[in-house]
Structure 1
Amino acid sequence: MSNWDDGVKNFVKKLFGDTNEKRVKALKPYVVRANSFADAFVKLSDDELKGKTAEFKQRIDNALKDVPDVKLLADDVPKMPGQIRTMKDKALAEVLESILPEAFAVCREAGSRVLNMRHFDVQFMGGAALHFNKIAEMRTGEGKTLVATLPTYLNALAGRGAHVVTVNDYLARRDSEWMGRLYGYLGLSTGLVYSHQPDWEKATGYHLWYQPRIRFRLSARQYAQIAR
């Protein structure tokens, strides 16, 4: 068995448990496809690599432009992460899935150039799992911060904003600045939400946000109250 398979097998056990290794077979093709872009992307100039973001956005716009915003679920159905509530949601999910391997490959090449950090295959696997609304348990040092850049970049392309929730204010600020270099290189802006933040400084108009989990819980609670 290859080192790749060993690493993935161990990761899948953390992610899904021993009885669900079949799920790795559903994710592995995305990793293989993402790796197929590596040789071509390493030869791109900085401007060419950065231009991939605009290309992806255009592909998303083209996929959604003629899709009616028809509801598939009633308004009183509780909202869940990744839920398909409209025809546009369905079309968006499909185009993001089609873009995923190439977008992950772009993010990895950008990470190599900007951060001197290259995503491993098992981190591709973790990023794909997160995009498909799975939860991965990873220990300190296993690359959670870098894994998160993959689905965050992909979902930010849709123009709806993407949130990265971390443990506390310190990590939210650190990661927004650290990983923000990668996002900025690819043409995306990064905001920060933290405790006791003044109104004038609150993140608005950004492609993605970093925030501590306590602020996320408060925001979600406030949103629920407003929705009611």
Structure 2
Amino acid sequence: MMAGDPVAEKAAASVLKRAVELDKAKRFTESLVCYQEGLQLLMEALKAKGQEDGRRAELRKRVVDYMDRAEFLKKHVENEKEAGKYHEKIEITANSVGYSYQKVLGRFLDEHVTRVEIEDPYIRSIHQVYNLLRLSELLVSNCRNLKSIFLLTGREPGNQQEMLDELKQSLAKHKVVLTVEYSTTLHDREIRLDNGWVIKIGRGLDYFRPPEGKFSLGYCDFDLRQCHATTIDIFHSSTVRSIPK
């Protein structure tokens, strides 16, 4: 029997297994991304030469089944968004990995995002401003129509202002305006996108553990960086509350 494309089949099975796990955990937006990736791989396996008719029919049925589930979830998410009831919860356990800003936020960042508002009382020390820098890089890369970032944070004696001013100048070169305001009573930690998504992270942007060293895995790639335990709540609202300007 000809095996077709066993590599694509194996990869599809792994991704779709993850899609089903996320689906069961009600992490529907993440699940949809995995369903889409898994279906693409499954289609590649279906198109492979040398596939027996029986095996091809089996793969075709899997494609239809997963596609139906993905379509159902897509409609469910859209309906919940329109009703203002969408809520997704992610529990990050201590020392877990795989939660870079791209993984947590990437699927919500698109051409419809023009303004991002960040409330985080702890964008103060060097590593915390670096966190903001990494998020800013992701926003600029993924949101081609991004115009402004608004940060509300706590004030810290030292070079906080200098670091944020440097970031502001760098963002300006990409035609993005960074506005920073300070609060002495701020406790909330959330990110609001003007496409309607609101992401609340219990620990704010600073949910990563320090790397073991400058030449250790996870120093650059935050998907390999261990995390502190925290909770992420994701909402959608057609009328996102803006920070007063």
Task: Give the TM-score, by structure 1 length.
Answer: 0.32
Kindly indicate which of the two structures has a greater share of residues assigned to helix: 1
Q: Which has the higher contact order (CA 8 A, sep 6+)?
A: 2
Greater strand fraction, Structure 1 or Structure 2: 2
TM-score, with structure 2 as normaliser = 0.30
